[in-house]
């Protein structure tokens, strides 16, 4: 009988997983880039970024670019580890043993 690893419920959300997938492959991403890539609404992205931030999976920096506000996100080492563990857990569901 195959044992499945538990999937991290925080990362199992489609939008949070999408955000983490973006951030795992770049040094940083601003809010507009994440919005464009995910196709989600600003409000939904804000809520999900805050959940990931509270979990310690990403760091949010707010500042200005000229006169415009700019929100930049970076994945943390904890976020990188959580993402890798999620991928490994997901693989346990995809493996076919003979």
Q: Where are the domains of the chain?
A: 14-93
| Secondary structure class of 70 (helix, strand, coil) | strand
pLDDT digits (tens, 9 = 90+) for 5-33: 889 999 999 999 999 999 999 999 999 99
In 10 A of CB 29, how many CB atoms?
21
- Give how far Cα 89 sits from Cα of 12, 69, 79, 85, Å: 11, 38, 15, 6
Kindly give the confidence (pLDDT) of every residue in the chain, 98 residues in length, as a single tens digit, with 9 standing for 90 and above: 557 788 999 999 999 999 999 999 999 999 999 999 999 999 999 999 999 999 999 999 999 988 888 999 999 999 999 999 999 999 888 875 54
CATH assignment of 14-93, given 3.40.50.970, 1.10.10.10, 3.40.50.1460, 3.40.50.300?
Answer: 1.10.10.10
Q: What pLDDT was estimated at residue 98?
A: 41
- Give how far Cα 80 sits from Cα of 47, 49, 65, Å: 20, 15, 27
Q: Which of 23, 28, 8 is nearest to 80 (CA)?
A: 23
């Amino acid at each position: 009988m195959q044992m499945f690893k538990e999937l991290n419920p925080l990362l199992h959300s489609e939008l949070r997983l999408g955000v983490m997938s973006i951030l795992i492959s770049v040094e940083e991403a601003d809010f507009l880039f994440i919005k464009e890539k995910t196709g989600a609404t600003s409000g939904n992205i804000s809520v999900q970024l805050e959940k990931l931030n509270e979990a310690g999976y990403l760091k949010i920096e707010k500042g200005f670019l000229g006169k415009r506000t700019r929100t930049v996100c970076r994945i943390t080492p904890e976020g990188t580890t959580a993402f890798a563990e999620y991928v490994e857990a997901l693989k346990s569901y995809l493996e076919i043993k003979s």
